[in-house]
């Protein structure tokens, strides 16, 4: 499946910003099932410095600095990306979760060493007894790891309510667990925290999700969304993606941007500014299959 993706972020300031320095994770990552055919990042005002490189996790990133006074900053990312469907593995044939946990601590094979770094705490995810307690019913003794992970995915989907007003970046996992509300980022962090609390390796995945309009409604430009899910390390299969927000194994309607320990490693745009005062942010995301030709103008904040 080929997609055209347009991601526009607009910052409006009530006082001039004299300079800003930013790091953008807005270029789809290449992978076994994904190929970035074309990509373009446009920043207004024009940056004085712009540098594309690859971060520690292998994600494509762009650093840019605007060094002229401005009241508005617009970052427009456009991509054409090819995504292949994912073959769903047989969960019952995966190793027992305890064996995976134990091997992670002793196996020095490069693949296991790479996975092992995702067992530990990260800025937004701290393991806890409460997270382990919530995860435990999905992990009875000797249960195949992917069966356990999919059961946990389904439970989070059933137990937690999607509510974009319930949380912020400062909301802790303990608060999410207690309030049972949040957004895709919270649910990904929650499941990662549960898995790490069980001694398993899990990483945060940032990307896009093709959304479908309600029956009888037109699809609106800008009405798609940035999305977050996670991957769990499963020997024999490698990293397996799961999406607790939608209770699915991602396939060809999830477009990968990058991965890391948590949101902090792959946030779409982060940086520092001088000046600016208060500001407003507007984000519009449009994900369109290449064969689609007619859409209705619109936007989403």
CA distance 157 to 244: 5
Which residue stretches of the chain are H helix? 97-106, 110-116, 129-135, 145-159, 173-179, 184-197, 263-266
CA distance 185 to 299: 21
Task: Return the structure tokens found at 192.
Answer: 């990662």
Helical pair 97-106 and 145-159, crossing angle rounded to 10 deg: 110
Task: Tell me which residue of 223, 222, 240 sits closest to 231, measured CA to CA.
Answer: 240
Instruction: Tell me the CATH number for domain 2-84+267-289.
Output: 2.60.40.2250
If 0-12 CB within 10 Å is exposed, 13-18 middle and 19+ buried, where does residue 7 land? Answer: buried
CATH code 2.60.40.2250 region(s) in the chain = 2-84+267-289
Beta carbons of 288 and 295 less than 8 angstroms apart: yes
Cα 272 to the chain's mean position, in Å? Answer: 22
Give the CATH fold of the 91-265 domain: C8orf32 fold (3.10.620)
Task: Return the structure tokens found at 100.
Answer: 């995976």
Task: Tell me which residue of 4, 2, 3, 6 sits closest to 285, measured CA to CA.
Answer: 6
CATH code 3.10.620.30 region(s) in the chain = 91-265
pLDDT in tens, the chain (301 residues): 899 999 999 999 999 999 999 999 999 999 889 999 999 999 999 999 999 999 999 999 999 999 999 999 999 999 999 999 998 899 999 999 999 999 999 988 899 999 999 999 999 999 999 999 999 999 999 999 999 999 999 999 999 999 999 999 899 999 999 999 999 999 999 999 999 999 999 999 999 988 776 666 655 444 577 899 999 999 999 999 999 999 999 999 999 999 999 999 999 999 999 998 889 999 999 998 886 543 433 333 3
């Amino acid at each position: 499946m080929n997609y055209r993706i347009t991601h526009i972020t607009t910052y409006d300031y009530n006082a001039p910003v004299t300079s800003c320095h930013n790091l953008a994770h807005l270029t789809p990552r290449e992978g076994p099932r994904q190929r970035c055919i074309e990509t373009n990042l446009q920043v207004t005002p024009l940056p004085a410095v712009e540098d594309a490189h690859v971060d520690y996790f292998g994600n494509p990133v762009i650093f840019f600095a605007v060094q002229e006074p401005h009241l508005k900053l617009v970052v427009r990312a456009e991509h054409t990306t090819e995504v292949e469907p994912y073959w769903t593995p047989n969960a019952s044939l995966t190793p027992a979760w305890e064996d995976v946990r134990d091997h992670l601590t002793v196996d020095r094979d490069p693949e296991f060493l790479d996975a092992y770094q995702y067992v530990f705490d990260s800025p937004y995810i701290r393991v806890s007894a409460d997270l382990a307690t919530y995860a435990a019913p999905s992990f009875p003794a000797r249960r195949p790891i992917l069966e356990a992970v999919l059961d946990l995915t389904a439970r989070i989907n059933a137990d937690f309510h999607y509510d974009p007003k319930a949380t912020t970046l400062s909301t802790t996992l303990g608060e999410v667990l207690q309030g049972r509300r949040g957004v895709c980022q919270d649910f990904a962090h929650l499941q990662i925290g549960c898995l790490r609390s069980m001694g398993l390796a899990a990483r945060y995945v940032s990307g896009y999700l093709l959304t479908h309009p309600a029956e009888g409604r037109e699809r609106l430009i800008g009405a798609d969304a940035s999305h977050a899910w996670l991957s769990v390390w499963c020997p024999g299969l490698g990293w397996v993606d799961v999406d607790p927000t939608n209770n699915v194994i991602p396939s060809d309607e999830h477009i990968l941007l990058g991965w890391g320990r948590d949101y902090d490693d792959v946030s779409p745009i982060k940086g520092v500014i001088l000046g600016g005062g208060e500001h407003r942010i507007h984000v519009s995301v449009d994900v369109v299959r290449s064969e689609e030709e007619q859409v209705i103008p619109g936007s989403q904040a």
